[in-house]
Structure 1
Amino acid sequence: MRVLIRADASMTIGSGHIARCVTLANVLRRDGADVRFACRQLPGHLLQRLAEQSFITYPLPERYEQQSQGATIESSLPWQEDIDALAGQLSDEAQFDWLIVDHYGLDARWEKAARPFARRLMAIDDLANRPHAVDVLLDQNYTAQALDTPYARWIDARCQTFLGPRFALMRDEFQCEPIPIRPKVERVLVNFGGFDAAGQVHATMLALQGFADLQVDFVAGLHNPHWETMSARVDAHPGWRLYTQVSDFFSLMQQADLFIGAGGGTTWERAALGLPTLCISVANNQQLNAQLLAEAGVHLYLGRHEDLAPQRLTSAVASLREDPALRQAYADRSRALVDGRGARRIADALAAAADN
């Protein structure tokens, strides 16, 4: 089976789209599939990292002529220019069995135009805010299962859907035992995505300054503009450690008693481990999912990072570290959502459809 994935990473977009696609790609590749990536060369792109993992990559332009200035991560891309750029890269390639698109800026117009590239198309989405013309749609978020038919108006009735955290694209190690819930929080893990574009790691440092007895691991992301300031703060706190990248994030999560982070892809990793979480949204598309999960008793949601005062985060840490019963309740409810086998389920579905 031959699979092409169209997704982007950048300082603005973050690394989450690529990360979850790589998880699925690795499962497909272990099954014998030839998986490739097409990505724009945006500041902070991950093409080199993909190549280091032995994926064939097709670089696409950083900018398009029709692209508007000040575009956000949810702004539409000039779909025809993107199709033309992709066609130029694939001119000598045979048709793929699957084209998987994971991009907020692309919709049914792009998907219809991409049909010549692959026998079947799949979209990975989180927003349910635009039409799709695909054979399979995946939305791994809690909103997709909690809301009533969120994609009914956006997809054809023949489109097969996989909705909710049961299908979350997670690495194999997250098919695991839960972490123990200790009487008191001793170690905290702080991470707000691959790039921390919101600068929330530094803001969290300010909120944690008064907890002299806490061990804290800060994973700050690539090219963090607060790096020097954060390094100085860590030097002044013997129990603090600062990382730009870690090769074994899973191990850091296993050692933690409390996670402070965003409402992105690590939501399901934390859930699989039963890792109690203080969640702060750093993007508009995280807010509803984070709020609904809080209402379901999965984590404590503190709202948008723009609105969060450091004192409120400090108070939440102080309260939660002394409440093992509440942390255990968060752990139990979060683990009920995921079993870590979502990528396997999606890979099996794609293989079954390709055989028909």
Structure 2
Amino acid sequence: MDVLVAFRADASVQIGTGHVMRCLTLADELARLGHHCLFVCRDHEGHLGDLIQRRGFELCMLSDGAGLRSESGGSASSPYSDWLGVTWEKDSQETQEALSGRCATWIVVDHYALDARWEREIAEHLGQIMVIDDLADREHDCAVLLDQNLGRAHTDYDGRVPPHTLRLIGPHYSLLRPEFREFREEFLKRRQAMQCRRILISLGGVDRTNVTGRVLSALETSSLASSTKLDIVMGSSAPALEEIRSQAANSRFDATVNVNVTNMAQRMGLADLSIGAAGSTSWERCCLGLPSIMVILAENQRLIGEALANAECALLIDESEIPEALPPMLDKLLETEGALERFASNAASVCDGNGASRVAAIMTGSDLH
């Protein structure tokens, strides 16, 4: 049975790229199964419309809503209200207009500024709702809720979703591209007698406050060998991209800057350590057993970071602590015998890379139609 799935997610300099990227992963899996997917996105600065179309998906682009922002754009107390750019009512109306005449089986919404009010409006006129969330901070009215975060419990959504909602909770359902599953066994074999010869540095697709630059400056003062390779990954919309290129060129390390990479699994597999954001890429690192120092860039990343730190999969550092705390943290990690191997083994146990196929199977199975 063919399924039409519409995705409502945004990327921007403010929002970042993670919401759209994980939706693309699920869309890829659904397309592989023969189903049709389309994206409804708003034309914010830093949107990923071109990437969505290059991946072969239909795109409906909504206007950026400049000048139409309102306190009612999201939940009244939500710090993410202005991410939408318009009121939730207007967004619902425009989404319905974009999908007019399309018989969508599912609407997947991945947006911190939208909640049960938007979902009820959409479901009344379109298909079933699936919500992707990380926060457990507002009500949803949906058939399926996905929260892929370690440390999250089913009970965190008690009273926030209807009793009939199927809750898919934890990294078992993390939305990873198939190459992570495919390379997992090969790269896990490398996590023995580890030495830190190569570090992957990736602080999000946008990194609008240039955390990457602060990390590079801090590494210069560490005892890390100058022969260490630094693989710095950034998005083309990162405001400090040229500054980072200059910083890398003058580094004492063998540092390279790579933009809009399409082989992140291979890069993670070849790295011995990652310094990265505590966001959705956490599960990619876990799948390939990559030890990491995780940087908290926003409060919505703290649950993930603390859960992985408690499981001894990663070390955790706040953005503000980078200059003083990162060098001694790194030095201690590399001086502790067996630490990298222990972190790698613990990380690999968290996520097996099959989450996207599990979620797609649930969405396209007969039990929910």
Partner of residue 343, structure 1: 356
Query: Alpha-carbon deviation of 1:311?
Result: 2.8
Does the 8 A contact of 2:215 with 2:322 survive in 1? Answer: no
Q: 1:194 aligns with which of 183, 193, 205?
A: 205
Query: Alpha-carbon deviation of 1:117?
Result: 4.2
| C-alpha separation in 1, matches of 2:9 and 2:54 | 17
- Asked if residue 82 in structure 1 is aligned to residue 91 in structure 2, the reply is yes
Query: Residues 38-61 of structure 1: CA distance to partner in whole angstroms, max 9, x if unpaired?
Result: 000000001111111111111112
Does the 8 A contact of 1:191 with 1:220 survive in 2? Answer: yes
Secondary structure, counterpart of 1:149 in structure 2: helix
Change (3 A) 1:294 1:57: same
Q: 1:102 aligns with which of 106, 110, 130?
A: 110
1-10 or 196-205: bigger deviation: 196-205
Partner of residue 327, structure 1: 340
| C-alpha separation in 1, matches of 2:244 and 2:213 | 6
- Asked if residue 231 in structure 1 is aligned to residue 240 in structure 2, the reply is no
Does the 8 A contact of 1:276 with 1:330 survive in 2? Answer: yes
Change (3 A) 1:200 1:353: farther
Change (3 A) 1:167 1:247: same
Query: Alpha-carbon deviation of 1:68?
Result: 3.5
| C-alpha separation in 1, matches of 2:191 and 2:246 | 32
| C-alpha separation in 1, matches of 2:322 and 2:9 | 34
- Output the TM-score relative to the length of structure 2: 0.90
Query: Residues 148-201 of structure 1: CA distance to partner in whole angstroms, max 9, x if unpaired?
Result: 610002001100010000000011121212142444211101001111123111
Partner of residue 248, structure 1: 263
| C-alpha separation in 2, matches of 1:263 and 1:73 | 19
Partner of residue 29, structure 1: 31
Partner of residue 291, structure 1: 306
| C-alpha separation in 1, matches of 2:334 and 2:293 | 11
Q: CA RMSD in A?
A: 2.0
| C-alpha separation in 2, matches of 1:331 and 1:52 | 34
Partner of residue 312, structure 1: 325
128-137 or 49-58: bigger deviation: 49-58
Change (3 A) 1:181 1:315: farther
Partner of residue 214, structure 1: 228
Secondary structure, counterpart of 1:57 in structure 2: strand
Does the 8 A contact of 1:99 with 1:117 survive in 2? Answer: no
Secondary structure, counterpart of 1:67 in structure 2: coil
Whichever residue aligns with residue 247 of structure 2, its letter is: R
Secondary structure, counterpart of 2:106 in structure 1: strand
| C-alpha separation in 2, matches of 1:334 and 1:65 | 45
- Output the TM-score relative to the length of structure 1: 0.93
Does the 8 A contact of 1:102 with 1:124 survive in 2? Answer: yes
148-157 or 34-43: bigger deviation: 148-157
Change (3 A) 1:258 1:336: same
Does the 8 A contact of 1:23 with 1:170 survive in 2? Answer: yes
Partner of residue 185, structure 1: 196
Matches for 1:53-72 after TM superposition, within 5 Å? 53-63=55-65, 66-68=68-70
| C-alpha separation in 2, matches of 1:225 and 1:343 | 31
Query: Alpha-carbon deviation of 1:249?
Result: 1.4
| C-alpha separation in 1, matches of 2:161 and 2:366 | 18
Query: Residues 211-245 of structure 1: CA distance to partner in whole angstroms, max 9, x if unpaired?
Result: 32211111132233323332222222361111222
Whichever residue aligns with residue 265 of structure 1, its letter is: S
Whichever residue aligns with residue 285 of structure 2, its letter is: R
Does the 8 A contact of 1:123 with 1:137 survive in 2? Answer: yes
| C-alpha separation in 1, matches of 2:217 and 2:234 | 14
| C-alpha separation in 2, matches of 1:260 and 1:182 | 20
174-183 or 276-285: bigger deviation: 174-183
Partner of residue 277, structure 1: 292
- Asked if residue 152 in structure 1 is aligned to residue 165 in structure 2, the reply is no
Change (3 A) 1:182 1:199: farther
Query: Residues 265-316 of structure 1: CA distance to partner in whole angstroms, max 9, x if unpaired?
Result: 11000001110000011111001221122112121111x21x2141311111
Does the 8 A contact of 1:182 with 1:324 survive in 2? Answer: no
Change (3 A) 1:117 1:335: farther
- Asked if residue 261 in structure 1 is aligned to residue 261 in structure 2, the reply is no
Aligned sequence identity (%): 33
Query: Alpha-carbon deviation of 1:73?
Result: 6.6
Partner of residue 41, structure 2: 39
Query: Alpha-carbon deviation of 1:354?
Result: 7.0
| C-alpha separation in 1, matches of 2:193 and 2:212 | 24
Whichever residue aligns with residue 138 of structure 1, its letter is: L
| C-alpha separation in 2, matches of 1:7 and 1:241 | 31
| C-alpha separation in 2, matches of 1:341 and 1:58 | 29
Unaligned 5+ residue runs, structure 2? Answer: none
Query: Residues 111-165 of structure 1: CA distance to partner in whole angstroms, max 9, x if unpaired?
Result: 00001443311000000000000000000001324xx610002001100010000
| C-alpha separation in 2, matches of 1:310 and 1:171 | 33
